[in-house]
Amino acid sequence: MLQVGAARYDAAMTMAARTHLRDRNLGWAVAGAQLGYAAWYALCAYVTLRHAASFAGHWYLPSRDDVYTAEADIWAGWPWATWITLTAPMAPVVAGLSLIVSAAMFVTGYARGHRALFITLIAGAAAALLTITVSLTPAAQQVTGWLMD
């Protein structure tokens, strides 16, 4: 009889542990999405500046009606154009929404007792904050304007 009770207890604890671990997957997904989006934004910025440099022959911050691309079709033969034009203007919104989700997770104590998840959520929130900050700088707005022109 004691064995049966112990087996039930073990099964209940195993189920509780599995449920508890499964509940934290959202936190890992949010942090991963934030870090991934920050990396994607950085890659888009690099590719855009490299594309602008191909017109000028040197690295520079392009702007609307600049001397290097005023008469050029910057979209011709550029496979990244669609993805970058979707990313550049939406970066503050996407990163801001993910930062709100992170803040809600911190306020509710979502990662309490899970040090690795807590540190990863902090890293994701920092990456989202950095993405917002960079995307709202005058230089980034200038390049975004060049892309949309």
Note the pLDDT tens digit of each residue in 84-141: 999 999 999 999 999 999 999 999 999 888 999 999 999 999 999 999 999 999 999 9
**In the block, residue with structure tokens 């707005």:** 141
| pLDDT tops 70 at residue 4 | no
What's the start-to-end Cα distance of the chain, in Å?
A: 78
Q: Give the per-residue pLDDT at 22.
A: 52
Region 28-39 average pLDDT: 96
> Which of 6-20, 66-80, 81-95 ranks highest by mean pLDDT?
81-95
Region 18-32 average pLDDT: 77
Region 68-75 average pLDDT: 87
| pLDDT tops 60 at residue 17 | no
Q: Which amino acid is at 22?
A: R
HSE (side-chain half, CA atoms, 13 Å) at 29:
6
**In the block, residue with structure tokens 């990396």:** 39
Q: Give the per-residue pLDDT at 24.
A: 81
Alpha helices in the chain (DSSP H): 2-23, 25-56, 81-107, 115-135, 138-148
Dihedral, CA atoms, 21, 117, 31, 126, nearest 10 degrees?
170
| pLDDT tops 90 at residue 6 | no
* Cα distance between residue 43 and residue 94, in whole Å: 16
